[in-house]
């Protein structure tokens, strides 16, 4: 079901509140010298200790509880003991939870220690592109309004907007209809309805938008090896705008 009931919305609030708390915890852990494996294990324990299930673990065979994507990795980075964060890196952490049958999903890109002005700008623009899109979102508009606003803002800085990966509906399942592209024309896409629940997630590259998948079948990397950033929240569409569920 694309449009949620009040019971569904309350369940989504709980699941996504925990995702936000887990991201805040992740931010406190990130520092030079920690491995993405250690991040994964600590965040997995945090989720389980709060009575939830880490929804990514085992999803289509994914081995981690979080996606940990460093520098040129756009999304779906597999946590590893061999990936040690170092000063100047950026890392995108994507977290999913299941609470009482409802899914939470959100992501942030964090600095590791002191980073370059160029990387900080990429993080900031990626985050703001989310808000530029969400500002256009309300019941009755076409989804392309959001998609076009994200693309227009990010590309105005010379950045690339990944097209092969998109946001999605979310609820009892992690991925539901509709797809939520981060690019497109204003007058395209479905008409947005009240009580739709969407995961909106701009994936923005410092260079060209082109990507490829590594041989592990998961890790998505920029073709030019320039950094990428990811900013995601789950939200509910209201009559007049949105309620963002996964902020912290």
Identify the domain containing residue 190 by its residue range. Answer: 6-244
At 2 the pLDDT is 83
Tokens of 35: 């491995």
Per-residue model confidence as pLDDT tens digits over 98-115: 999 999 999 999 999 999
State the Cα–Cα distance between residues 84 and 78, nearest whole angstrom. Answer: 13
Q: Is residue 92 part of a domain?
A: yes
Q: Is residue 157 part of a domain?
A: yes
Backbone angles phi, psi at 92, to 5 degrees: -95, 125
**Beta carbons within 10 angstroms of residue 10's beta carbon:** 12
- Termini Cα distance of the chain: 27
At 169 the pLDDT is 98
Per-residue model confidence as pLDDT tens digits over 202-243: 999 999 999 999 999 999 999 999 999 999 999 999 988 999
At 1 the pLDDT is 59
Q: What is the pTM of this model?
A: 0.97
At 239 the pLDDT is 87
Q: Is residue 65 part of a domain?
A: yes
Q: Is residue 42 part of a domain?
A: yes
What own/partner pairs with CB < 8 Å and gap ≥ 24 does 66-71 have?
66/26, 66/39, 66/40, 66/93, 66/94, 66/95, 67/92, 67/93, 67/94, 67/107, 68/36, 68/39, 68/40, 68/92, 68/93, 69/93, 69/94, 69/219, 69/220, 69/228, 69/230, 70/36, 71/227, 71/228
At 182 the pLDDT is 98
Q: How many domains does the chain have?
A: 1
Residues of the chain with pLDDT under 50: none
Q: What CATH number does residue 114 fall under?
A: 3.90.230.10
Q: Is residue 210 part of a domain?
A: yes
Q: Is residue 1 part of a domain?
A: no
In sequence order, the β-bridge partners of residue 142 are 191
Q: Which residue has the tokens 């969407």?
A: 198
């Amino acid at each position: 079901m694309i449009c949620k009931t009040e019971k569904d919305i309350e369940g989504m609030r709980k699941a996504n509140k925990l995702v936000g708390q887990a991201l805040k915890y992740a931010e406190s852990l990130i520092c030079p010298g920690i491995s993405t494996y250690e991040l994964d294990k600590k965040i997995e324990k945090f989720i389980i200790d709060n009575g939830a299930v880490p929804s990514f673990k085992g999803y289509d065979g994914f081995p981690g509880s979080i996606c940990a994507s460093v520098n040129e990795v756009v999304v779906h980075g597999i946590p590893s003991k061999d990936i040690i964060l170092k000063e100047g890196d950026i890392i995108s952490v994507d977290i999913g939870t299941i609470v009482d049958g409802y899914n939470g999903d959100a992501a942030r890109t964090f600095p590791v220690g002191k980073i370059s002005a160029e990387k900080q700008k990429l993080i900031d623009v990626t985050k703001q592109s989310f808000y530029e899109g969400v500002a256009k979102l309300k019941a009755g508009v076409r989804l392309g309004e959001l998609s076009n606003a994200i693309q227009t803002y990010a590309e105005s800085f010379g950045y690339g907007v990944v097209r092969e990966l998109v946001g999605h509906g979310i609820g009892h399942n992690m991925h539901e209809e509709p797809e939520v592209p981060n690019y497109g024309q204003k007058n395209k896409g479905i008409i947005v309805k009240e009580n739709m629940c969407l995961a909106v997630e701009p994936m923005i590259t410092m260079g060209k938008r082109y990507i490829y998948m590594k041989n592990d079948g998961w890790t998505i990397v920029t073709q030019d090896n320039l950094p990428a950033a990811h900013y995601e929240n789950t939200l509910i569409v209201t009559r007049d705008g949105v309620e963002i569920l996964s902020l912290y």
